[in-house]
Amino acid sequence: MQSSTKEKEIIQGLIPNERLKIILVLVVSISFIECYAQYNLRNGRKNNNINCLIISALLYGVICYLLYTTYQYEGMGHVNLIWSCLSITLAIYFSHLNDENPAE
């Protein structure tokens, strides 16, 4: 019984801690790319520039590929939890950095 449990933990030849490092790198990359894509969307709407929309769509394509890669190492629930928390944190941080006021 123990050998089957041990085998279940190893995915793609990596133990859980090694997988977590890879997942964190991928999810941090996803979050920063998403933040930049959102920034481009906002600027595109603000300046009526369609090129920003195209750049954002391409960036979201990169995000899809990175998500596809993360699912090789971990399930959707864990990846989505890490991504959501990090995205919210980065969005709040960068909106304060840009001194954004949503009321304006």
Residue-wise pLDDT tens digits, 38-88 = 889 988 998 999 999 999 999 999 999 999 999 888 888 888 899 999 999
Average pLDDT in the 80-98 region? 84
Q: What pLDDT does 91 receive?
A: 84
99 domain residue, yes or no: yes
71 domain residue, yes or no: yes
Give 26 or 11, the one with higher predicted confidence. 26
40 domain residue, yes or no: yes
Q: What pLDDT does 1 receive?
A: 43
| CB-based contact 62:30 (threshold 8 Å) | no
82 domain residue, yes or no: yes
Find, among 59, 77, 76, the residue nearest to 68 by Cα.
76
Burial zone of 67 (CB within 10 Å; 0-12 exposed, 13-18 middle, 19+ buried): middle
Q: Which domain holds residue 95?
A: 31-104
Average pLDDT in the 19-41 region? 91
17 domain residue, yes or no: no
Q: What pLDDT does 3 receive?
A: 47
The chain-wide mean pLDDT, for the chain, equals 82
pTM of the model: 0.75
26 domain residue, yes or no: no
Q: What pLDDT does 104 receive?
A: 52
Q: What is the dihedral of CA 96, 97, 103, 104, to 10 degrees?
A: 170
The count of domains in the chain is: 1
Most confident of 22-36, 73-87, 90-104: 22-36
14 domain residue, yes or no: no
